[in-house]
Amino acid sequence: MANNKKGVIGILTGGGDVPGLNPAIRAVTIRALREGYQVVGIRRGWGGLIDLIRDKKADNSNNYQFLTEEIVNRAGRTGGTFLHTSRTRPSSVRKNSVPEHLRDTYNEEKNDLTPEVIKNLDFLGVNYLIPIGGDDTLSYAVRMYQEGLKVIAIPKTMDNDVPGTDYCIGFSTCVTRTIMLTNSLRTIAGSHERFLVLEVFGRYAGFTAMLPTMAGAAHRCVIPEYKFNIEHLTELMVKDREANPSRYSVLLISEGAMFEGGEMVFKDRSTDAYGHAKLGGIGDLVSERIKEISPNFNNGKTVDVVNQKLGYMVRGGDPDAVDSIVPMAFGNLALDLLLKGVHGRLVVLKNGRYDNMPLDVVTASKKVVNVKYFYDTDRYRPIYENFEMKPLFIMTSEG
């Protein structure tokens, strides 16, 4: 349906929202329009591409919109994504999630709607695709590239765990918010001489707990990469509290952290559209246990706990400076590649320099904290040494 001599670029955002998505959409759109391309914003990530009806008379306004400078300038300084997002993976759509107009064709318990996505992109006239997302969104982008589409991807996730890049959009704002909220809550913990336990995002990677702790927001942190001993953790927190003139201690705990001998803690048996069981509750369990165990290390006296899940509070609101600048650079880098005729790439930050990597790096490896180099497994806190020549956020794809 789109028609442009130079070409049409489709852009979408998938997975969880983060501050920095709208600046990335703005950067891609403004540069593309000035280079003579048309830009189509796909609504709700990959979801917009399976819901679309290939009929010029159909109302598909809920699935896409043509982008202009006016539209993206209005949203470009705000958080979230004005294109909306979803956790849809077209290669594995549950029977009850198949769009009504496709149910006669796709009626298995799990359905691969990739043929429909390809036809819908062709219907829209999209020549190039720029998906912005985490490893789930981008793993399907790899599939699209393998199917012959011209794809250039931009990494986004506050967990900062997309392989191949030192930085993902949303991470800096998440760390900034975590430090700010922790500092706000510590006054309550200090007033009542309590432990402060804060659960943060991080299913498989502990970067969002490590960096704020490294910056001084917490005394200890526990992360998914290393199972912790609750007795030892409680002993450390009691010692931190005793040493603190304000008589409190702070723990940051990743949502994917695990007790020694245990597994991840889940909310319930439900899963998201990607098939991931929904995490939640490790902060509650740890709070209960350290309160229960605290008398063993505190002369028989119980230490009460201030327990808070930071959750959406760290992903809401406007982007910070880093998440305003990096998305702008990533968007322009994607256009640089497109203009050179280069596809199947992931734009990245490596050792402080903007670069690009083969897109399949997203599915070829996992990015997690290197416990040996960065995490003290006895003290449950980051290692503060050997910073020379490290990148801005210390822990990289390789490290």
Say yes or no: 156 and 28 in one domain: yes
15 residue type, one letter:
G
Q: What is the mean pLDDT of residues 21-46?
A: 97
pLDDT value of residue 265: 78
pLDDT value of residue 275: 60
Say yes or no: 77 and 186 in one domain: no
Say yes or no: 156 and 235 in one domain: no
pLDDT value of residue 1: 67
Checking if the pLDDT of 162 tops 90, the result is yes
Active-site residue flag, 159 = yes
Distance in angstroms between the alpha carbons of the first and the last residue of the chain: 46
Q: What is the mean pLDDT of residues 361-379?
A: 94
Helix 171-192 × helix 322-339 angle, to 10°: 160
Q: H or E segment at 126?
A: none
Global pTM value: 0.93
Helix 207-214 × helix 171-192 angle, to 10°: 60
Tens digit of pLDDT for each residue in 332-361? 999 999 999 999 999 999 988 999 999 999
Residue 197: give the domain boundaries. Answer: 172-314+371-382
Q: What is the mean pLDDT of residues 113-142?
A: 96
357 CA to centre of own chain: 19
397 belongs to a structural domain? no
Q: What CATH number is associated with residue 179?
A: 3.40.50.460
Say yes or no: 79 and 207 in one domain: no
Give the pair of three-digit tokens for residue 155.
Answer: 């990494």
pLDDT value of residue 271: 61
Say yes or no: 359 and 376 in one domain: no
CA dihedral 72, 78, 83, 84 (to 10 degrees): 180
Say yes or no: 322 and 230 in one domain: no
Instruction: Give the number of other Cβ atoms within 10 Å of residue 227's Cβ.
Output: 15
User: Residues near 333 by Cβ (< 8 Å), separated by ≥ 6?
Assistant: 347, 354, 356
145 belongs to a structural domain? yes
In the set 159, 166, 240, 323, the catalytic residue is 159
Checking if the pLDDT of 124 tops 90, the result is yes
Say yes or no: 129 and 96 in one domain: yes
Residue 396 main-chain phi, psi, to 5 deg: -105, -175
Question: Each residue of 50-83: b (16+ CB within 10 Å) or e?
Answer: bbbbeeeeeebeebbbebeeebbeebbeebbbbb
Tens digit of pLDDT for each residue in 70-100? 999 999 989 999 999 999 999 999 999 999 9
pLDDT value of residue 365: 87
Number of H helices, E strands in the chain: 12, 17
Q: Are 311 and 335 in contact (CB under 8 A)?
A: no
pLDDT value of residue 272: 59
Checking if the pLDDT of 17 tops 60, the result is yes
Q: What is the mean pLDDT of residues 267-295?
A: 79
Q: What CATH number is associated with residue 339?
A: 3.40.50.450
pLDDT value of residue 263: 77
Mean pLDDT rounded to a whole number for the chain: 94
Distance between CA atoms of residues 311 and 248, nearest Å? 22
392 belongs to a structural domain? no
164 belongs to a structural domain? yes
354 belongs to a structural domain? yes
Say yes or no: 19 and 89 in one domain: yes
Q: Are 116 and 54 in contact (CB under 8 A)?
A: no
When divided into structural domains, the chain yields a total of 2
pLDDT value of residue 391: 85
pLDDT band for 256, please (50, 70, 90 cuts). very high
Q: What is the mean pLDDT of residues 311-338?
A: 96
Distance between CA atoms of residues 201 and 364, nearest Å? 23
Checking if the pLDDT of 379 tops 80, the result is yes
Tens digit of pLDDT for each residue in 39-71? 999 999 999 999 999 999 999 999 999 999 999
